[in-house]
C-alpha cells in the first residue's frame, strides 16, 4: 500500500472532531511556524488542534517550542491545557507534553504529531513553535 495514501487516510480518521491544525508534507529545505489559534492573543476554550508534519525519507523535522503559556493546575505542576507531541500518531511514543517552558523544548522525528488541547474554561496566551527540516544523521 502506498505510504502517502495510508498517512492521509489515518490523518482523516484522526481528525474527526478536530477544530484546527493540518497536514504538512515538508520538502527537504522547508521550515515553518505552528502556533495556537489567535496567538499571541489568548486561545479559546474547547479547542483541539492536530498537526501532522511529515519529512521525506532521510530527513527529520526539528521543532523548537519557542514560547508556551497554557493553563496549569491550581495546585501541583500538572497541565490543564497542553501541547502533546508524539512520534507520528496519537498512539506512538510521547516526545513532549507540557503547558509552560519547563521541559526539553527541542523535538526531532521524521513524523511529528502535534496536539493542542484546551478544556472548557480559563485561557492563556498560547504557544508558538518553529520547525525546520534537517538531514537525518542516522542514514
**102 grid coordinates:** 519547563
Q: Which of 108, 122, 128, 130 binds Ca ion (CB under 5 A)?
A: 122
What is the nearest approach in angstroms of Ca ion to the Cβ of residue 90? 20
Which parts of 58-77 interact with Ca ion (CB under 5 A)?
Answer: 71
Residue 130 interacts with Ca ion (CB under 5 A): yes or no: no
What is the nearest approach in angstroms of Ca ion to the Cβ of residue 5? 36
Which parts of 92-121 interact with Ca ion (CB under 5 A)?
Answer: 118-119
Q: Which residues of 40-79 are buried (b: 16+ CB within 10 A; e: fewer)?
A: eebbeeebebbbbbbbeeebbbbbebeebbbbbeeeeeeb
DSSP 8-state secondary structure symbol assigned to residue 43: P
User: Please, where are the H alpha helices in the chain?
Assistant: 3-14
Residue 81 interacts with Ca ion (CB under 5 A): yes or no: yes
Residue 54 interacts with Ca ion (CB under 5 A): yes or no: no
Binding site for Ca ion (CB under 5 A): 71, 81, 118-119, 122
Amino acid at each position: 500500500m502506498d505510504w502517502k495514501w495510508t498517512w492521509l487516510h489515518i490523518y482523516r480518521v484522526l481528525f474527526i472532531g478536530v477544530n484546527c491544525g493540518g497536514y504538512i508534507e515538508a520538502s527537504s529545505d522547508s521550515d515553518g511556524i505552528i502556533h495556537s489559534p489567535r496567538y499571541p492573543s489568548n486561545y479559546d476554550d474547547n479547542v483541539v488542534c492536530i498537526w501532522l508534519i511529515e519529512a521525506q525519507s532521510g530527513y527529520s523535522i526539528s521543532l523548537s517550542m519557542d514560547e508556551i503559556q497554557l493553563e496549569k493546575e491550581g495546585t501541583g505542576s500538572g497541565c490543564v491545557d497542553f501541547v502533546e507531541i508524539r512520534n507520528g500518531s496519537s498512539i506512538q511514543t510521547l516526545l513532549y507534553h507540557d503547558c509552560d517552558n519547563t521541559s526539553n523544548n527541542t523535538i526531532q522525528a521524521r513524523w511529528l504529531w502535534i496536539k493542542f488541547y484546551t478544556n472548557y474554561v480559563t485561557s492563556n496566551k498560547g504557544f508558538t513553535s518553529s520547525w525546520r527540516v534537517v538531514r537525518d544523521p542516522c542514514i
